[in-house]
Structure formats: C-alpha cells, structure tokens
Amino acid sequence: MRLLLVEDHVPLADELVAGLGRQGYAVDWLADGRDAAYQGACEPYDLIILDLGLPGKPGLEVLREWRAGGLTTPVLILTARDSWAERIEGLKTGADDYLSKPFHPEELNLRIQALLRRAHGLANQPQLEAAGLQLDEARQCVGRNGEWIELTAAEFRLLRYFMLHPGQLLSKTHLAEHLYDGEKERDSNVIEVHVNRLRGKLGREVIETRRGQGYRYNGAGG
C-alpha cells in the first residue's frame, strides 16, 4: 500500500511517516500544496492523507483540483479545523473521511484500514478477509481456519495488497509501484522472493503465477 502524506508540520510528519511505516505502508511525504497537487495526480497512490493548512496551496483547493481531474484515490483529511461546518465542506469537496487533530495514532490506523477496505469494496468488515484468509493488521499475522501464522513486514505488506485485490491480475511493476515509496530502488526480484515465501507459509495455490503477466491472489479456496 502506497500512501501520500501531505503535512507541513515536520515533527508530526516525521511521527506519521515512522508510524505508518511500522504499519507496513510505503509513505511519500510532501509539505507543499502545489507539489501535492501535481504528485498526487500522477503517482499511483492507494490513499492520500491531506492536511488542510498547507503552504503554497490550501488543502481544500488541492483536493478540489484532484477531484476535478478525475482522481478517485481515497482521501483522508487530517486537520485541526474540526468544526462541523468545516467537516461538511471537506467531505463535500470530495474527501472520504475526516480526522481531527489531535488524534490517537491507533485511531488513524483504524481509519486508514477502514478506508482502504471500503475503497476496494470490502466495507463493513472489522478485519480484512479475502478468500478464506483473515489478516490481523495490528499484529501483522494471517489466520486460516483459526490458525494464526506470523508474517515478516515485507510479507505482510505484500499479502495485504493481494488481499485487497482478490482475483485481480497484478504485474510485478504494478506491485513494486504500490509497495515501495518513490525513493526506494524497485527490484522486481524482491517481489518474487516474497511471493515464494508467502507460498511457503500458506501453500502454493494462494498466489497463482501467470507467466509474463503477473500474479493473482486466489486465497485459501484457490
């Protein structure tokens, strides 16, 4: 999952980047509204966390531009302006959720998870479930028939992405774009290694390889 964080307060951004990294998200951080308006529209983010009081261009203006340009990425507004009038305005402009500062880090994680599930048509699930597997995002382990299997951070990220796109054909490049932030070296062989480890833990049939096209998640029932 690749996230864009737009926040101009450096200490908070540092905290958020670190915290989100621990949650297995690849995070790009921007502090300027103009940069955000551009980069948010051309990079394939899975979710955007947007502060409203930004230098360069106000957050709402950035959001309006994204939506006018046809961007459908879920946007979570993170702001200290928490009156209902501002909240309504934010959601009318096209935000998908609104979290007011100060917030509990746990609350942010839950909102992000819920928003991602909702964006992939898996609403109303307390836990990510796809094709017979359950993913505990807090403990980063996967459950199958009541049995819990520990995952490494890299395996967890990869499996989460697969589970949010069940049955879809995903190329290595696509996976690399969504699993690593903009600064990391993207090596598709690393993905191959992690896919093989997941298969080792969960069984070969969980992820199917389509030669020359990519991978497809079939889950426990595949």
Partner 1 sequence: MIALQHRLSLGLVAVLLVVGLIFAQGSLWLFDLGLRRYLQNYLREEAEALLIAMVRGPQGLQLDEQRIGPGYQRPLSGHYFRIDFDDRVWRSRSLWDHTLPRPEAAGLQEGLSDGPSDQHLLVYRADYRRFGRELSISVAHDYTPVLDSFRRLRQLILWLGAGALLLIVLLQRWTVHRALRPLESARQQIAQLQSGQRGELDRDVPPELEPLVAQINHLLAHTESTLKRSRNALGNLGHALKTPLAVLLSLANREELQAHPDLQARLQEQLAQIEQLLARELGRARLAGEALPKARFDCAAELPGLFETLAMIHDRNLDLRWQAPPGLRLPWDREDLLELLGNLLDNACKWARGQVTLDIEPVETGFQLTIDDDGPGIAAEAREQVLDRGSRLDEQVPGHGLGLGIVRDIVDAWAGSLALEESPLGGLRVRILLPARGPDVR
Closest CA to 198 of 177, 175, 169, 219: 219
Question: Is-contact 210 169, C-beta < 8 A?
Answer: yes
Q: Is 104 in the site for partner 1 (CB under 8 A)?
A: yes
Binders of partner 1 among residues 132 to 171 (CB under 8 A) are none
CB of 52 vs partner 1, minimal distance in Å: 8
Give the whole-angstrom CA distance, residue 206 versus residue 204: 6
Min dist CB 13 to partner 1, Å, is: 9
* Residue 157 CA to its chain's centroid (Å): 10
Considering only 69, 82, 125, 152, the residue that binds partner 1 (CB under 8 A) is 82
**Which residue number, 11 or 146, has a Cβ lying nearer to partner 1?**
11
Q: Which is nearer to partner 1, 92 or 211 (CB)?
A: 92
Does 192 sit near partner 1 (CB under 8 A)? Answer: no
- Taking the complex as a whole, the smallest distance from the CB of residue 87 to partner 1 amounts, in Å, to 6
103 near partner 1, judged by CB under 8 A: yes
Q: Does 80 bind partner 1 (CB under 8 A)?
A: yes
Comparing CB distances to partner 1, the nearer of 83 and 189 is 83
Rounded distance between C-alpha atoms, residue 65 and residue 93, angstroms: 10
Q: For residue 89, what are its two tokens? A: 């305005």
211 contacts partner 1 (rule: CB under 8 A): no
Cβ pair 53, 8 in contact under 8 A: yes
Per the CB < 8 A criterion, the answer to whether 60 and 98 are in contact is: no
Residue type, 35: D
Q: Smallest distance, Å, CB 19 to partner 1?
A: 6
Instruction: Rule CB under 8 A: choose which of 83, 146, 183, 211 binds partner 1.
Output: 83
**Residue for token pair 């994680």:** 109
Alpha helix (H) residue ranges in 23-122? 33-42, 59-68, 84-93, 105-119
Binding residues for partner 1, rule CB under 8 A, total 34
Of the residues 34, 57, 67, 118, which one makes contact with partner 1 according to CB under 8 A: 118
Asked if 84 touches partner 1 (CB under 8 A), the answer is: yes
- Tell me whether the omega of the peptide bond preceding residue 102 falls within 30 degrees of 0, making it cis: yes
Query: What is the CB-side half-sphere exposure of residue 126 using CA atoms within 13 A?
Result: 0
**11 touches partner 1 by CB under 8 A:** yes
Residues of this chain that bind partner 1 (CB under 8 A): 9, 11-12, 15-16, 19, 53, 79-88, 91-92, 96-98, 100-107, 114, 118, 123-124
